[in-house]
Amino acid sequence: MLSSLLKAKEITPPPNEEGAKELAAALGAASGREVYPRSIVAAGGVLFFLGRRGLEKRVCLAWPAGETPAAPADFRGERGEVEVDGLRLVLQAGYLDHTNALGLRKHLPFTAPRLMGVRRCVGCGDRLGLATPAHVRAVRGTGLSPFFAQQSIREMTRTGRTPDQVMDTATFGVFEEGYREGFGSDADHLKTTEDVDATVAAGFTMFTIDPGDHVDNEAHTADAAALREKFAALPWEALETTAEDMSGRYLAESFRLPDESEVAFDEVSLHRAAAKYGRALAHTAMMYRHLKAKMGDAPFELEVSVDETATPTSVAEHVFVASELRRLGVEWVGLAPRFVGEFEKGVDYIGDLDEFARAFAGHVAVARHFGPYKISIHSGSDKFSIYPIAAREAGELVHLKTAGTSYLEALRAIARVDADLFREIMAFAVERYPTDRASYHVSAEVGKVPPPESVSDDDLPAALDQFDTREVMHVTFGSVLTAEREGRPRFKDRLLRALREHEEEHYQTVAAHIGRHLAPFAGRG
């Protein structure tokens, strides 16, 4: 098998499971590393695989001794010679660093993100940089298109990560699992042109614009007189229209949607929609044009998100937003409204499911009329009660985003393998919650979190199923990961080490939990 792989000029198909394990064993014996069988692939006369020695992983390349193929020039690492199956090979082992991630993305394009288009998608945020293999296991075979590199600038800041690191860990995770079906990368909740520039430079493929700071939530309940004033004061030059023209467009016609419903505006409803979202639309158009100029001829995808606002987006307001985006020349593949009910972090939906179903169906009808484009569900982690509704109503037009839940499930794995560390993190989270909750809409009460010392080792993993404990530990992730004691990380190094030592426990825990999210969407069209 090895000889034939090394003769291949194009990327070789995945070897069968038995053959991959046999070759992994042979490569492992020669290299002194545990080799991940799914990672084995050859291209251009070079064999690629991921190897692990102790807790350290390396990108390994091998090629016949005496030959100098082009591929190794794009990688760096230590070289030596080994013999495998009677073949003398040069073996190069390099760190999981940015240079080697770029090399993988160049020579093994399946490790690079691509456009996902308008299809069922799931975003799998990875705050620790270790979860992508687990996400691959959860997604494989479901029919959903994944975004394995997904993180907001806010999360990057709180975890001390960079856009390059988010991209690179996704690349290495895809390589480890040999995932060939393609994945996207989502630069989430971008608020400034500086955010755009940083994520463009890192090679992201989808950009989620968050104009929430420019939404006027007071317009939701303002009276007619206040709305007239707000409407008149909109930035009409940036919106490239006038108050008279906008009134003429919306008051003179109605919108017939694919579900046979009709949306019509009167003066008050138009003024409310425009006052609430007008400045956000101007900001979105500016960000989109900046992004388009920055990308040049490179293809990209855009999502618009107004989910992190105080008041729900009505179906009529969605019609207004989509109609205005189209008029302004913005092209997008997804839109995240602010849904009715509460989408608190890491817990199930709070609200009337029948009301949610009616509103969600209306949003999908708008997306079909003006697109089609996807309805994006942000803060989508653990919203198990709404998944069947979303899957039924949206079909392909849905993008579920998860992030913090993978961090919580990593902590569940820690609870199983290092109870003392989990209790320390739990106690620290309780201390930090009153401060850290400020930027989140959550309702957990620290008084309802059981004292860590009162929970037995056997019951610690299940503590994360309790509402208040789960939210408290969710929103304090940034403090946990950046906390220091005497100039050294207080938790992060121990946390990452424990997860690496118990890698399979970590992967299985996260994959099983993400799998529960995906089951209602799997196979639906």
- Residues forming the active site: 188, 303
For 8, half-sphere exposure in the C-beta direction (CA atoms, 13 angstrom radius) is 17
Question: Between the CA atoms of 214, 215, 219 and 220, what dihedral angle is there, to the nearest 10 degrees?
Answer: -170
Amino acid identity for residue 124 in this structure: C
Q: Closest Cα partner for 460 from 427, 484, 498?
A: 427
Per the structure block, which two tokens stand in for 305? 């998100």
Q: What φ, ψ does residue 152 adopt, rounded to 5°?
A: -85, 160
- Give CB contacts under 8 A, 24+ apart, made by 141-145: 141/522, 142/518, 142/521, 142/522, 142/523, 143/521, 143/522, 143/523, 143/524, 144/120, 144/518, 144/521, 144/522, 145/116, 145/117, 145/119, 145/120, 145/121, 145/181, 145/182, 145/183, 145/184
| Termini Cα distance of the chain | 39
Residues 6+ apart with CB under 8 A from 345: 379, 381, 404, 440, 442, 471, 474, 475
In angstroms, rounded to a whole number, what is the distance separating the alpha carbons of residues 377 and 365? 16
Q: What angle do CA 93, 96, 102 make, to 5 degrees?
A: 100
In angstroms, rounded to a whole number, what is the distance separating the alpha carbons of residues 59 and 72? 11
